[in-house]
Amino acid sequence: MEYYVTKNQKKLRCGITTGTCATAAAKAAAELLLFGNYSEAVVVHTPKGIDVSVPVFLSVDTKQKTEYKVVKDSGDDPDVTNHAEIFACVEKVEEGCNCPKEAFCFKKSPNLFLDGGIGVGRVVKDGMEQKKGQAAINAVPREMIFHAVHEVCKVAGYNGALLIKIHVPQGKELAKRTFNPRLGIEGGISILGTSGILEPMSEKAMIDTIELQIRCLQAQGEKKLLVTPGNYGQGYVSSFLHLDLDKSIKCSNYIGETLDFAVACGMQDFLLVGNIGKLVKLAAGIMNTHSRVADGRREILAVHTVLSGGDANLVPEIMKCINTEEILQLLDRNRLQQQVIKSLCEKIEEHICYRAGDKMEAGVILFSEKFGFLGKTKKADGILKLFGGSI
């Protein structure tokens, strides 16, 4: 993997995600099973648009199934899974007979099935993107794996059923150093990656980059700033608010620092748009929203549920929820969602405006994946209009 990015005036080598590793191993295994072609490396097209050549190592070779492994390379910013061995086994099966009932199916080819093996976590609670009992293989990696194997099948003219199984021998131990146990995922790591590429970026480098972006906008004469925590926020801004992203910035978890930089650079208006799963923490004055710094999402929502007239008996139910989407569903069932969001927004505005001071107007818009637009602080509408948008 020889792809580099420059962060804080340093040239850093990127790595690959567990999703890209699993895709490379599955593609190599499918090519050997269906073509008899042995590989030392395969090319994977990542969602980021970058083609990467990934070294692969043969593990199993029979007439019915083949298996390759990839040793994960996290680049210059090693994570928990750096150097983990990601295996993919591709096996010819009778459709529906030898496939686990919890296996994923591919819409474009009903004969392809995907499941996790040893060391790949399994979902044990409701509320996740996967169903209870399914392997913790996220949507983008699933699509990558299925697409790669499907393309091999097309070229080979193979229409039989295949079961793809991903396993990570070290996964159970590695998972203890992740948030999977708290999220309701047991037995191993998740197969992740929205871009396929793992870009190294230290906390300081990321904060420096945020400041640099704001200073560049200042140099262009900008007096207003549109901010999202990341890709989800940008997607919402583009698709639902129909705003131009050219002059927006991503602040990641560093909302407090971003506010400080915006004030220091003379910005007059600041609009933050993001998913409630991250921005709910602002209601408690938490300005670094990384889970390693602070969580408190359930506690915050529980307090505002009671403040909004909810029964105290809902608090234990909220504390059992594994994410904010599940809590929102609970509030919706109890006809409390609107009141709780209003209460949250009032507190978010109090904290965000205190941090911004009297030199800059600041507003926040909250959304969720399931419910879409949820609410906004009082000043958000006026600032949104400055960007040519409205709700």
Cβ–Cβ under 8 Å, residues 304 and 341: no
- What distance in Å separates the CA atoms of residue 343 and residue 337, rounded to the nearest whole number? 10
Tell me what pLDDT residue 207 has: 85
d(CA 242, CA 225): 16
Q: Distance between CA atoms of 374 and 348, rounded to whole angstroms?
A: 14
Distance (Å) of CA 5 to CA 10, 11, 115: 8, 6, 33
Name the DSSP class of 372. E
Q: What pLDDT is attached to residue 179?
A: 73
What pLDDT is attached to residue 76? Answer: 83
Q: Is-contact 271 383, C-beta < 8 A?
A: yes
Helix (H) or strand (E) segment spanning residue 361: strand 361-368
Per-residue pLDDT 10s for the chain (391 aa) are: 567 777 656 777 888 999 999 999 999 999 999 999 999 999 999 998 999 999 999 999 999 999 999 999 988 877 889 999 999 999 999 865 667 889 999 988 889 999 999 999 999 887 678 899 999 999 999 999 999 999 999 999 999 999 999 999 999 999 998 878 867 889 999 999 888 888 776 576 678 778 878 987 888 899 999 999 988 888 899 989 999 888 899 999 999 999 999 999 999 999 999 999 999 999 999 999 988 788 999 999 999 999 999 999 999 999 999 899 999 999 999 999 999 999 999 999 999 999 999 999 999 999 998 999 999 999 999 999 999 988 8
CA angle 316, 322, 326 (to 5 degrees): 85
CA dist., res. 337 & res. 111, Å (int): 42
3-state SS class at 121: coil
| Residue 359 CB-density burial (10 A; 0-12 exposed, 13-18 middle, 19+ buried) | exposed
Phi, psi of 367 (to 5 degrees): -140, 170
User: CA 126: distance to chain centroid?
Assistant: 18
Tell me the whole-structure pTM to 2 decimals.
0.64
From the list 145, 91, 89, 144, the residue with the least C-alpha distance to 118 is: 89
